[in-house]
Chains A and B, each alone.
Chain A
């Protein structure tokens, strides 16, 4: 059992408050990603789980056991770092073997020179060798065991780092932006490999990234952290469809969700006014939640300012008629084409229109009103 529970975690660096009371429960065997812009505190949260940093308030428990104050190595967690943090002077084999050696060999056996002569060491070394080779084979780096990290490609280093984390069978895997140093193609490939590894090992993964598409494609659940606060936790599709906070809505999804200030919109129309809550300040909808029409009286509309043709989709940028704001609409290539500069009308699916209040909180549940 290795569920992780965080209760009211706070962290300050001097005057700056990095985490403002984060509580989160991560299930055993779950793949959870922490996503947020850089500097939002997600890496700090991960380091607090690992025990590399101390929280100023709150509790961390791993597998039902409070681990505050426990040293990193006593928490049964493994971590993969953004820079991989491989030991440059050790071979791949020694890098992967190190966590095993520190755990299985006694202090005396680890001493330089003398350690080799102590009884029992050979047997332990043999079992370590077997396990390292097994892990290396699984990650397809068995042919690199005698090399130094400096002689490996980025992807290979990444696998070695995974191997070093994996070899001691931790109950929790922590990963801090492990793919951000790889090129785009390799990144997609490694995503698949890491999710496959998760399925095979069946242990808890906590994965930090600033890349929302990474978060969405890999995780069972995504936790959005912005400005030191945990804004929403949920399965990727739930976050996409039903964000509880404007910042979450803007974080998740590409291209970004369209946000229009109330009043910039033709909301004086009776139907729209009827479904808008009084406190609503922002209206938001996904690019696929609207269709383009010819300009129609009574519908919001504007001018096409840009077209992004991705082959499968065309993203049409429309500058709204009665404001300076621009929205992006996804259209299929076989839909009627709109050329640059032409005037269009917008028909938004009212069921997929989201409303947010002054503070960015979700309000006025449209689905219920519309139904």
Chain B
């Protein structure tokens, strides 16, 4: 065999192999390309565009725009309604999270305590989660109506005079938060129930042998410690959902009265789409985006560490 032939023989498989791997790579790229293109066009591109817009004075429909540096952010900083919205959103989260988690945990413990009507209770508590918020917000609006609403009528039977909950600066945010708890606690309940099902029966048996067979002992020694990770998760989930509150505010108060129930997303919507102040809205969006991403990353780290230690 000539030297040439030897060289040829050695070279050929490598070329073939490349071809084979290239085939897999081709299929791979073919499979991901629609998603990749759309990720760029509909996610990363727009995200970059928002940041770009936030440094301009562009208004929707205008043919020209100028870069204005951080002017939009400066305006935002000096804008009381923005601060009001930020503070209100935090207050909203601070009310909804403990309410939802507490009520969800309590109902989960009660539902799992014994088998009677378990499925029925679970379904009933889950109904608000499945309901369309905008329609239910309309319903809540009538329930909180000052004269014909269910809430004030009930108060009236006890001789109390109700107020106009959604038009009162002191109660508007509270009322919206109540609706948030109403919609979310069933979901928390379901997550807690799945956490409860994961607690091994042997732990209860061991606790009983050790003398802890009372309801509260069982809760204190076994149930609540074992629910730790689930609780963390429910808190994180509820908080991030509460942070995105919009529907109920939009439908019921539109942020009013006098920004008493203004929240970030409603502010974002009003500036961007009611007043069409695109640049300003974009700056608001950038701030919102930064907060959400920071929270998500912090939560991810936090959860990771918790899981690691447990």
Q: Complex formed: what's the CA distance from A68 to B16 in Å? A: 6
A30 within 8 A of B: no
Instruction: Name A's B-contacting residues (CB within 8 A).
Output: 51, 54-59, 66, 68-69, 71
| Interface contact A69-B19, CB-CB below 8 Å | yes
- Which residue in B14, B20, B21, B23 is a CB contact (below 8 Å) of A57? B14
Residues of B within 8 A of A57 (CB): 13-14
Q: How many A-B residue pairs have CB under 8 A?
A: 26
Q: What are 25 A-B interface contacts by the 8 Å CB criterion? A: A51-B20, A54-B17, A54-B20, A54-B21, A55-B13, A55-B17, A57-B13, A57-B14, A58-B13, A59-B9, A59-B12, A59-B13, A66-B12, A68-B12, A68-B13, A68-B16, A68-B17, A68-B20, A69-B13, A69-B16, A69-B17, A69-B19, A69-B20, A71-B20, A71-B23
Residues of A within 8 A of B9 (CB): 59
Q: Complex formed: what's the CA distance from A57 to B9 in Å? A: 11
Q: Which residue of A lies closest to B10 (CB)?
A: A57
Q: Complex formed: what's the CA distance from A153 to B35 in Å? A: 41
Q: Complex formed: what's the CA distance from A57 to B12 in Å? A: 10
Residues of A within 8 A of B23 (CB): 71
| Distance to closest chain B CB from A82 (angstroms) | 23
Known: A55-B13, A69-B16. 14 other contacts (CB 8 A): A54-B17, A54-B20, A54-B21, A55-B17, A57-B14, A66-B12, A68-B12, A68-B16, A68-B17, A69-B13, A69-B17, A69-B19, A69-B20, A71-B23
B interface, size bucket: 10 to 19
Shortest 5 CB-CB distances between A and B: which pairs? A69-B16, A68-B16, A54-B17, A69-B20, A68-B13
Q: List B residues 157-187 near A (Cβ within 8 Å).
A: none
| Distance to closest chain A CB from B5 (angstroms) | 14
Q: Complex formed: what's the CA distance from A71 to B20 in Å? A: 8
Q: List B residues 223-264 near A (Cβ within 8 Å).
A: none
Q: Complex formed: what's the CA distance from A316 to B170 in Å? A: 91
Q: Complex formed: what's the CA distance from A69 to B23 in Å? A: 9
Q: Complex formed: what's the CA distance from A51 to B12 in Å? A: 16
Residues of A within 8 A of B21 (CB): 54
| Distance to closest chain A CB from B18 (angstroms) | 9
Q: Complex formed: what's the CA distance from A68 to B13 in Å? A: 6
Q: Complex formed: what's the CA distance from A66 to B16 in Å? A: 10
1/0 contact string of B7-41 vs chain A (CB within 8 Å):
00100111011011101000000000000000000
Q: Complex formed: what's the CA distance from A51 to B9 in Å? A: 19
Q: Complex formed: what's the CA distance from A71 to B13 in Å? A: 14
Residues of B within 8 A of A59 (CB): 9, 12-13
- Which residue in B12, B17, B19 is a CB contact (below 8 Å) of A56? B17
Residues of A within 8 A of B19 (CB): 69
Residues of B within 8 A of A58 (CB): 13
Q: Complex formed: what's the CA distance from A236 to B13 in Å? A: 33
Q: Complex formed: what's the CA distance from A333 to B172 in Å? A: 94
Q: Complex formed: what's the CA distance from A68 to B20 in Å? A: 8
| Distance to closest chain B CB from A113 (angstroms) | 23
Residues of A within 8 A of B17 (CB): 54-56, 68-69
Q: Complex formed: what's the CA distance from A71 to B26 in Å? A: 14
Q: Complex formed: what's the CA distance from A98 to B14 in Å? A: 32
* Most A CB within 10 A of own CB, among B13, B14, B16: B13
Residues of A within 8 A of B13 (CB): 55, 57-59, 68-69
* Most A CB within 10 A of own CB, among B16, B19, B23: B16
| Distance to closest chain A CB from B12 (angstroms) | 8
| Distance to closest chain B CB from A89 (angstroms) | 21
* Most B CB within 10 A of own CB, among A55, A68, A71: A68
Residues of B within 8 A of A54 (CB): 17, 20-21
Q: Complex formed: what's the CA distance from A56 to B20 in Å? A: 12
Q: Which residue of A lies closest to B21 (CB)?
A: A54
Q: Complex formed: what's the CA distance from A66 to B19 in Å? A: 14
Residues of A within 8 A of B12 (CB): 59, 66, 68
Residues of B within 8 A of A66 (CB): 12
* Most B CB within 10 A of own CB, among A51, A54, A56, A57: A54
Residues of A within 8 A of B16 (CB): 68-69
Q: Complex formed: what's the CA distance from A69 to B275 in Å? A: 62
Q: Complex formed: what's the CA distance from A266 to B21 in Å? A: 58
Q: Complex formed: what's the CA distance from A54 to B16 in Å? A: 9
| Distance to closest chain A CB from B24 (angstroms) | 9
| Distance to closest chain B CB from A43 (angstroms) | 19
| Distance to closest chain B CB from A140 (angstroms) | 38
Q: Complex formed: what's the CA distance from A55 to B14 in Å? A: 9
Residues of A within 8 A of B20 (CB): 51, 54, 68-69, 71
Q: Complex formed: what's the CA distance from A54 to B13 in Å? A: 10
Q: Complex formed: what's the CA distance from A66 to B9 in Å? A: 11
Q: Which residue of B lies closest to A9 (CB)?
A: B13
Residues of B within 8 A of A55 (CB): 13, 17
Q: Complex formed: what's the CA distance from A54 to B14 in Å? A: 10
Q: Complex formed: what's the CA distance from A66 to B12 in Å? A: 10
* Most B CB within 10 A of own CB, among A56, A69, A71: A69
Q: Complex formed: what's the CA distance from A57 to B13 in Å? A: 7
Residues of B within 8 A of A51 (CB): 20
Q: Complex formed: what's the CA distance from A66 to B21 in Å? A: 17
| Distance to closest chain B CB from A41 (angstroms) | 17
| Distance to closest chain A CB from B22 (angstroms) | 10
Q: List B residues 123-170 near A (Cβ within 8 Å).
A: none
Q: Complex formed: what's the CA distance from A68 to B9 in Å? A: 12
Q: Complex formed: what's the CA distance from A36 to B19 in Å? A: 31
Q: Which residue of A lies closest to B19 (CB)?
A: A69
| Distance to closest chain A CB from B25 (angstroms) | 12
Q: Which residue of A lies closest to B14 (CB)?
A: A57
| Distance to closest chain A CB from B297 (angstroms) | 30
Q: Complex formed: what's the CA distance from A68 to B21 in Å? A: 11
Q: Complex formed: what's the CA distance from A67 to B9 in Å? A: 14
Q: Complex formed: what's the CA distance from A68 to B12 in Å? A: 9
Residues of B within 8 A of A56 (CB): 17
Q: Which residue of B lies closest to A56 (CB)?
A: B17
